[in-house]
Amino acid sequence: MDLQYALELSGTFVFAISGALAIREKEHDLFGAGFTGFITAIGGGTLRDILLDSHPLVWIGDIHFLYAILIGILTAFIFPNILSRLRKTFFLFDTLGIGFFTVLGVEKALSLGVRPEIAAIMGMFSAVMGGVIRDTLTNEIPILFRKEVYASACLVGAILYLILHYFAVDRNYNMLISMSLIISIRMIAMKYKLSLPRLG
């Protein structure tokens, strides 16, 4: 199993946990948590693949992604008290998820021969759209429209990946460095309550 595949499965797993925890806190049953976890995990990647005309969709072509989603949902449902005791668990899983999926989205787009500018956007879409769908389903203001540094962190990480790729940095190191930057930006922004300037 190469690094990219392992990270993609891991990203799917943590996004499924993120989605399942979001709905479980509203006292929905396992099916509700499972559905939201599933949509959160596959939403961004599915949109990316449709826009890039890449078929079959990743989760349709590889059954292991469905297994990763199922394990994530069950983990959130079986160990909610343990997860709840972890400080800012929901934030942690969401942050890990966007780090994984931004880089993987850029990788996927580049492998299909699109321009770097488009690849950066596809990376951002891969990362944030699952969370947007999750928030919409749970009747929350999508995180994309809040003051938090979110999509912008993904875009910065995607650009860093493209720069390092241009200078032929080892692919595995590039992936880890770019993911770490996204995660660091988001965690620092949350800790110090940083946000982008508002219009008007």
Give the model confidence (pLDDT) of 78-96 as tens digits: 887 777 666 566 677 778 8
Q: What is the per-residue pLDDT for 200?
A: 57
CA 51 to chain centre: 17
Quote the Cα angle for 191-194-196, to 5°. Answer: 155
pTM: 0.85
Q: Average the pLDDT over 67-76 and give the result.
A: 92
Q: Which residue has the tokens 């995607």?
A: 158
CA–CA gap between residue 69 and residue 14 (Å, rounded): 8
Distance CA 63, CA 78 (A): 23
Q: At what angle do helices 89-111 and 151-166 cross, to 10 degrees?
A: 40
CB 35 within 8 A of CB 45: no
Round to whole Å and give the CA distance between 193 and 169.
33
